[in-house]
């Protein structure tokens, strides 16, 4: 089965619930039905989309009635290219929402910065009504651009962390898998999306419904859990001294400090620190620090429109020449632009 056949099968399984919505709304036993406008941006993944829809579909199946309905939308109603490379048809373009509706913004590792002004305005209009808004993976970046997260805590996929920290330095993301702040829910991808949707079901229909959906999805749901994302791509060492030193390194990417300054609050010598880094990472503290800066630079190159000079400065290099050389040495090739 090729990717297009797989997507066709996927969309048949998670077809738009518009038709079922009409029937459900005429049935007094159904109570209020919440409709989800699932906004797809280029680069959104099928996996993330499934994590949004599957809990809603399961809740309907377990209840025997339509508790939730949904439709896939894009800015213009045109198909959206997924992270897997297939075109994802949508049900219709963005349309007026009701206060009881929920908008879910789905975007992936790439393309998350490309939301048009019309999308931002649509999100602001729904927010002004007091409606629910959720974001999956890097979707919170679009909410930031729309000004919706101004007074809210949020989380976002680590692929967007560098862009957020550089462009919104006064509004850093949390390190949680999912985050609720008032009417705004955000998730960092993977299991965090499922957790976010289960939290919505919990608040809509109660803990019994959320637990049943969780079990049906083969997921252990704990709404009180704090699932840290910190250093997702570079796990934090168990050694407390190393962990603190690395935190200081991460906090001083733009203005690198000497290793002596980074460790002066620790009750060990420079030689002991060097031994620890060699034992855990097979490298020196200085090389590890430089690697962190280059990883941040690579993320900025892939997720922002910053110039090479701006990225060099933002990651502590004196200019583009030293930056290009360090990047080439680490990644065995020239800058991707």
Residue 248 pLDDT greater than 70, yes or no:
yes
User: 184-187 and 178-181: which strand pairing?
Assistant: antiparallel
The pLDDT value recorded for residue 175 is 83
**Same-domain status, 108 and 24:** yes
Q: State the pLDDT at residue 266.
A: 92
Q: What is the pLDDT of residues 152-206, one digit of tens each?
A: 999 999 888 888 988 898 999 988 889 999 999 999 988 899 999 999 999 999 9
Task: With respect to residue 224, please indicate whether it lies within any of the assigned structural domains.
Answer: no
- Reported confidence tier of residue 31, pLDDT bands at 50, 70, 90: low
Q: How far apart are CA 301 and CA 24, in angstroms?
A: 48
Integer Cα distance of 280 and 294 in angstroms: 20
Report yes or no on 142 lying in a domain.
Answer: yes
Strands (E), 182-253: 184-187
- Judge whether 45 lies within some domain: yes
Query: Is 117 domain-assigned?
Result: yes
If asked whether residues 207 and 310 sit together in one domain, one would say no
Higher pLDDT, 226 or 283: 283
63 and 101 part of one domain = yes
Q: Which residue has the higher pLDDT, 180 or 335?
A: 180
| Spatial distance between the Cα atoms of 71 and 33, rounded to a whole number of angstroms | 14
Q: What local confidence, expressed as pLDDT, does residue 229 receive?
A: 44
Pick the closest to residue 286 from 312, 309, 261 (CA basis). 261
Q: Is the pLDDT of residue 23 over 60?
A: no
Tell whether 280 and 212 lie within a shared domain.
no
- The beta-strand segments (E) located in the chain are 34-40, 68-74, 80-81, 87-88, 92-93, 102-107, 132-137, 178-181, 184-187
Q: What is the pLDDT of residues 134-143, one digit of tens each?
A: 999 999 999 9
- Decide if 231 is inside a domain: no
Same structural domain, 300 and 248: yes
**8 & 55 share domain:** yes
pLDDT mean over 24-37 = 60
For residue 311, which of 188, 165, 132, 153 has the smallest C-alpha distance? 165
Q: Are residues 60 and 140 in the same domain?
A: yes
Q: Among the listed ranges 10-19, 187-196, 272-281, 324-333, which one has the minimum average pLDDT value?
A: 10-19
CATH of the domain at 258: 1.10.10.60
**What span, in angstroms and rounded, lies between the C-alpha atoms of 105 and 126?**
13
Is 192 within the bounds of a domain?
A: yes
- On whether both 89 and 139 belong to a single domain, the answer is yes
pLDDT band at 110 (very low <50, low <70, confident <90, very high): confident
Residues of the domain holding 273: 240-331
Q: What is the DSSP letter of 176?
A: B
Residue 36: pLDDT band with limits 50, 70, 90: very high
Tokens, residue 161: 């962390």
Positive or negative, the Cα torsion across 12, 14, 16, 22?
positive
List pLDDT tens digits, range 252-279: 999 999 999 999 999 999 999 999 999 9
- Give the pLDDT confidence score for residue 5 in this predicted structure: 54
Same domain, 318 and 269: yes
Q: Which of 216, 231, 258 is the last residue of a domain?
A: 216
Number of domains in the chain: 2
91 and 140 both lie in a single domain: yes
pLDDT for 52 equals: 97
Q: Can you tell me the mean pLDDT for 50-69?
A: 95
CA distance linking residue 329 with residue 313, whole number of Å: 18
| Helix or strand (DSSP H, E) at 77 | none
Where residue 172 sits, what CATH number does that domain have? 3.40.50.880
- 230 within domain boundaries: no
């Amino acid at each position: 089965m090729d990717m297009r056949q797989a997507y066709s099968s996927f969309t048949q399984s998670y077809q738009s619930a518009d038709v079922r919505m009409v029937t459900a709304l005429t049935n007094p036993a159904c109570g209020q039905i919440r409709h989800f406008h699932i906004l797809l941006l280029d680069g959104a993944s099928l996996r993330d989309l499934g994590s949004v829809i599957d809990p809603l579909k399961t809740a309907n199946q377990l209840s025997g009635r339509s508790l939730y309905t949904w439709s896939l939308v894009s800015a213009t109603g045109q198909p959206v290219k997924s992270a897997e490379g297939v075109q994802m048809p949508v049900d219709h373009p963005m349309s007026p929402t009701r206060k009881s509706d929920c908008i879910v913004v789905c975007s992936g590792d790439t393309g998350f910065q490309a939301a048009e002004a019309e999308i931002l305005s649509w999100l602001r209009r729904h927010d002004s009504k007091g409606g629910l808004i959720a974001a999956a993976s890097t979707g919170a970046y679009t909410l930031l651009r729309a000004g919706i997260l101004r007074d809210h805590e949020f989380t976002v996929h680590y692929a967007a962390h560098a862009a957020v920290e550089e462009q919104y330095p006064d509004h850093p993301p949390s390190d949680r898998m999912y985050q609720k702040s008032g009417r705004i829910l955000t998730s960092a991808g993977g299991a965090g999306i499922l957790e976010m949707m289960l939290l919505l079901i919990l608040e809509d229909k109660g803990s019994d419904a959320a637990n049943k959906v969780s079990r049906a999805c083969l997921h252990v749901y704990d709404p009180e859990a704090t699932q840290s994302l910190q250093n997702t791509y570079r796990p934090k060492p168990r050694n407390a001294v190393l962990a603190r030193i690395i935190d200081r390194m991460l906090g001083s990417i733009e203005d690198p400090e000497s290793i002596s300054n980074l460790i002066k609050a620790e009750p060990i010598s420079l030689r002991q620190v060097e031994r620890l880094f060699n034992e855990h990472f097979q490298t020196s503290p200085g090389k590890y620090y430089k690697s962190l800066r280059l990883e941040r630079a690579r993320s900025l190159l892939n997720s922002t429109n910053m110039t090479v000079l701006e990225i060099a400065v933002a990651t502590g290099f004196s200019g583009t020449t030293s930056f290009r050389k360090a990047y080439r040495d680490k990644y065995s090739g020239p800058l991707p632009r």
